[in-house]
Amino acid sequence: MHYWKGLEAVPPGIGPSVVTIGNFDGVHRGHREVLAAVVATARERHAKAVAISFDPHPAQVHRPDAAPELIMGIEDRIETLAEEGLDGLLMIRYTLDFARASAEEFVAKVIVGALNACTVVVGHDVRFGRENSGDFNVMVALGKQYGFDVIGVEDVGEHRRWSSTWVREALNRGEVATAAQILGRPHRMRGEVVHGAARGRELGFPTANLDPAASGIIPADGVYAGWLVDEAQVRWPAAISVGSNPTFEGVSRQVEAHVIDRPAEGVEDFDLYGQQIIVEFVEHLRPMVAYRGIEALIEQMREDVARTRTVLLDA
């Protein structure tokens, strides 16, 4: 997939193209229905399949104090979109100046001028242009004016429309299995492994601690079964703790993953410090609670590891 950061990066004469527009936060199953239609239509029409997205998220520009937390970072968004079979991704820097463009100006400059679209594929709830003045009907009218077709994709979902909002709600409740159903894959965070208080190592359960600046929504406090993916793309089964660890005082909220069932090598030679890793959340095991004494905590951690092993074997 070609990645164009800004209109100026798009080479001249790349069309014809089949284009869609969206923030694609999470790249959930609803997004993927649209993207699949883009790719299929592009193959039928011997055109390029192209998505237009925005960075930062428009809400972060228009209402930064109330903007939703992003499900995934920009790196994961680009990587996941590439997996959908697109030929190109145009990432437009979203600014207040860009937001002043009318719906027609956006279509004329970006969809037609830069990408030479023969077809636009969008959901019926699409909004674009100044103050979201452009909707599906406006896109159809502009298509007739500028010479491209418009294909509308119906909402999809089970009992409820798949959406980024639903994913956020599920993660904020710790319902990572529900989030995975909407996303079509486990929710993930990506970040550097940093040094922590080393309490896990002292207790016999060493953990990889994610940098607080890691990308991706942090699920609700609790213990989860999941995976740790290292820089070599090796997937390790892991019991993941999210929270401040109430058994100990003065611990800030953190995400830490304990890799289970490693080969017989010692603890010290499994060094992830400084690596960029991915942590994937498969199932919520229990809430975060305080324990009376270290022995009770260790016993609970043993149970967490056993349940993690069972969950991941069945996953």
Which positions are annotated as active-site residues? Answer: 256
Give me the phi and psi of 73, to 5 degrees please.
-80, 170
Q: Residue 90's beta-bridge partner residues?
A: 4, 52
Q: Which helix (H) or strand (E) holds 225?
A: strand 222-229
What value, to the nearest 5°, has the Cα angle with vertex 188 and ends 122 and 249?
135
220/274 Cα distance (integer angstroms): 25
76/56 Cα distance (integer angstroms): 14
190/198 Cα distance (integer angstroms): 21
Asked if 257 and 226 touch (Cβ cutoff 8 Å), the reply is: yes
Closest CA to 107 of 129, 85, 127, 125: 129
Buried b (16+ CB within 10 A) or exposed e, 91-103: bbebeeebbebeb
119/16 Cα distance (integer angstroms): 9
SS3 65: coil
2/87 Cα distance (integer angstroms): 6
